[in-house]
Amino acid sequence: MGDSRRVPDRPGGGRLTGRRAAAVGAVLGGASALVLALGTAYLWPLFLFPLILATMLFFEIGSVAVTVWLVNFLVLYHGFRAPASAAAARQAVLGTALFFAAGLFLGRVQRHHRRKQASLAASSLSDRLTGLYNYGTFVDYLHNEVTKVDRYGGELSLIMLDLDHFKLFNDRHGHEAGNALLRRLGATLRETVRGADVAARYGGEEFAVLIRGDEQRGYELAERLRRAVAATPVDGRSGAEVSVTVSAGVATYPAGAADEAQLVRRADDALYESKRRGRDRVTIHTGAEAAVPVPESLSA
């Protein structure tokens, strides 16, 4: 998968506010006043609403489409009456040019506004350091997925991962190297999980991956992630390459947990069982009160 993030629909993309709205109003008002002074008051206001709507929905290409419509209207209009005078032709050309310029300006402002809104929406959902979902977004996603399983059936597997000896790494190589390590793990998660799955920074050096599938699929993905991290050294102090490892725990819903809170607890229990057993390994929680080692049938 190229990106583990599925960002919800962008909020408020169609609205113009503040100084931009005032600027757009001034441009449209000025253009309308000018074409009114040129003697075409009966025509131009009819196209202002389609222009605004088109630029809000389709940006600059919308203003091009509405301007072409206007030109066709003018051609047809003059085709059914006496040929236009040179003065009327100049008025139409100038009015259309002003109309087109206002549309391009509107489209550019609206495009910039949409991009800013999308950026704000994405930043509120993701962890700035790793680029993965943040804790709050992950909790909401987990709740929604558990609700879907309750309604439609299926299975979920939750993988909790934790960097081994992260505090020691920070002490030896510095916090900047620690941040680089977290970014590297975030990139590994994005590259390894599928588009249908979600990966998040759960907190500190702990990460979570939620996938559709049973414990075997969860274990296989956790093993791929564990191996990918171990095979990718990172830069430590003075540029020296350092190998790091992760421990992981897997739990499933509904077979191994009664609700989403218990699913998180049991995946976390399995993670700390991996830590207890020596780190750099994956443990599956079977739904019993204690996490158990990986069955032979699922061993790597």
Measured CA to CA, the distance from residue 72 to residue 47 in angstroms comes to: 12
CB 140 within 8 A of CB 7: no
Tokens of 47: 């196209």
Contacts (Cβ under 8 Å, ≥6 apart) of 250: 157, 158, 159, 160, 215, 218, 219, 222, 267, 270, 282, 283, 284, 285
Sheet of 282-284: strand order equals 198-203, 206-212, 156-163, 246-253, 282-284
Quote the CA–CA distance of 6 and 50 in Å, as a whole number. Answer: 33
Q: What is the phi/psi pair of residue 38, to 5°?
A: -80, -5
- Known catalytic residue: 205? yes
Which runs of consecutive H residues, i.e. helices, occur in 126-214? Answer: 135-152, 166-173, 175-192
What angle, 0 to 180 degrees and rounded to 10, lies between the N-to-C axes of helices 260-276 and 135-152?
Answer: 120
Q: What is the DSSP letter of 205?
A: T
Polymer length of the chain: 300
Q: Which of 145, 155, 191, 205 is catalytic?
A: 205
Of 224, 267, 228, 268, nearest to 244 by C-alpha is 228
Active site (catalytic) residues? 205
